[in-house]
Amino acid sequence: MSRVVVLGGCGGVGSVAVRTLASGDFFDEIVVAEKRYEAACEMAEALDPKRVKAASVDVEKEDSIGKVIEGSTVVVNCIGPFYRYGPPVLKAVIASGIDYVDVCDDLDATEAMLALDDNARKAGVSALIGMGNSPGLANVLARWCADEMLAEVESVDIYHAHGGEPTEGAAVIKHRIHAMTSEIPLFVDGRFITVRMLEESGQAFVEETEFRDIGTYPVYPYPHPETITLPKHLKGIKRVTNNGVVIPLDYFRLTMDTVRLGICIEEPLTVQGSAVVPIEFAVAYIISKRPALLAAAGLKEPTGCLKVKVSGKKDGDPHTYIFSMTSKGAGAGEGTGIPAALGAIMMSEGEIDLKGVFPPEAGVRPLDMLKLAGQVIKGTGMGNEVPIFIEHIDGDGKKESIDFKI
């Protein structure tokens, strides 16, 4: 019997992964594993109580993880922030000898999990990490372009904008703060450099970017792992960058300003005799201001766009391909949760057979995933095709649109 366990299955990303997995007959049993057991029970009952089951899990405890994933085919980890929970959860899954998929977009967690590659190989485990939007689909699209469209890939520049989700939890805000306070590696001119988003080094890479059907926004360097994994897997590449923004812009700026104040620290302070953790206050303050900022911007539904620009040569001539995936009415949850579900399905069906810990561009065959995506999207009722728009620019600057059909 095939069985998939989704850790954090009631969250914004995990719930989408669960619904996607439940939309077809890919698994005999789908387990919604949550600390909020009652919420998991409600979700299971609403979807398909015969196939979807609820389970209680505490990822702070390795034995709790081991118990809930026992006998599974694949584990999908959607519990963040990944800089805290990614590596220990992966260690527990490897110890159980079970295949694994996650949506980790934290750079430091990615490095820590890639360091578990030997452990996973010895255990015969396939661990696909970062199978969301960016990282995830961004890596797959870059791999597709390298395999099918260019003889030499010189650069990959990834841009992402999203916002308007119904809610954002504390883990999302903490991840964003973590991005704003971390060192960010970029691969420029064939070598790694390090910048910080809010400092002069990072501001030098801020650029105005047009997102198809969304608008033009400034995008900022993000510590997403594509910048360290793509140079390893795309030979000869000279540049990899990752820039993003959250909309509305005033909401993103509020988070930046809060970080600049220096109050996003975890060391408790004593305030009128009580211990207060500054980052907890900062996160609560940002969340409290969010509804008014979304209303002022007129942002009434989830909106997002992933843009991947790949440049290189074919037959000695320069070419650039720009991939855009825009969604309205669907946001970061769908953009991240659906790819994670696709990774789990492919792994269970033997379409991902690489052993060890690896990013999407190393273990996912792009056309296989895109074909599956088309089938799954129809099953979820979210449309009839994968919403990829492709623009080609030749060496003379001539632009053309390419129909995407599989």
Per-residue pLDDT tens over the stretch 94-106: 999 999 999 999 8
The whole-number pLDDT of residue 358 equals 98
391, part of any domain: no
The whole-number pLDDT of residue 83 equals 87
Cα Rg of the chain, angstroms: 21
CA distances from 75 to 8, 69, 99 (A): 11, 7, 6
275, part of any domain: yes
400, part of any domain: no
18, part of any domain: yes
Please say if the pLDDT value at position 405 is more than 90: no
The whole-number pLDDT of residue 5 equals 98
Q: Do both 206 and 121 map to the same domain? A: no
21, part of any domain: yes
| pTM score of the predicted model | 0.91
Q: Do both 356 and 311 map to the same domain? A: no
Q: What's the mean pLDDT when you consider all of the chain?
A: 93
More confident residue, 43 or 166: 43
- For strands 269-271 and 274-276, give the pairing: antiparallel
Q: Do both 61 and 148 map to the same domain? A: no
Q: Do both 54 and 201 map to the same domain? A: no
Can you say whether the dihedral through the CA atoms of 391, 392, 395, 396 is positive or negative?
Answer: negative
Q: Do both 251 and 262 map to the same domain? A: yes
Look up tokens 């793509």; give the residue. 230
* Nearest partner of 135 among 95, 100, 102, judged by Cα: 102
Helices 62-69 & 82-95, crossing angle to 10 degrees?
60
Helix/strand/coil percentages in the chain, nearest 5: 40, 30, 30
406, part of any domain: no
State the average pLDDT over residues 346-368: 96
Look up tokens 């934290």; give the residue. 106
Q: Do both 238 and 119 map to the same domain? A: no
Q: Count Cα atoms within 13 angstroms, Cβ side, for 122.
A: 6
Who contacts 136 (Cβ-Cβ below 8 Å, separation ≥6)?
103, 130, 336, 339, 340, 360
Q: Do both 232 and 337 map to the same domain? A: no
The model's confidence at residue 380, banded by pLDDT at 50, 70 and 90, is low
Q: Which domain, by its residues, includes 65?
A: 3-132+332-380
Domain CATH code at residue 283: 3.30.360.10
* Beta carbons of 119 and 94 less than 8 angstroms apart: yes
19, part of any domain: yes
DSSP string, 88-131: HHHHHHHHTT-EEEE----HHHHHHHHTTHHHHHHTT-EEE---
Cα–Cα dist 186/239, whole Å: 8
Residue 152, classified by CB atoms within 10 Å of its CB into exposed (0-12), middle (13-18) or buried (19+), is middle
The whole-number pLDDT of residue 403 equals 81
Q: Do both 17 and 105 map to the same domain? A: yes
Domain CATH code at residue 24: 3.40.50.720
Domain count, the chain: 2
Please say if the pLDDT value at position 333 is more than 90: no
390, part of any domain: no
Please say if the pLDDT value at position 15 is more than 80: yes
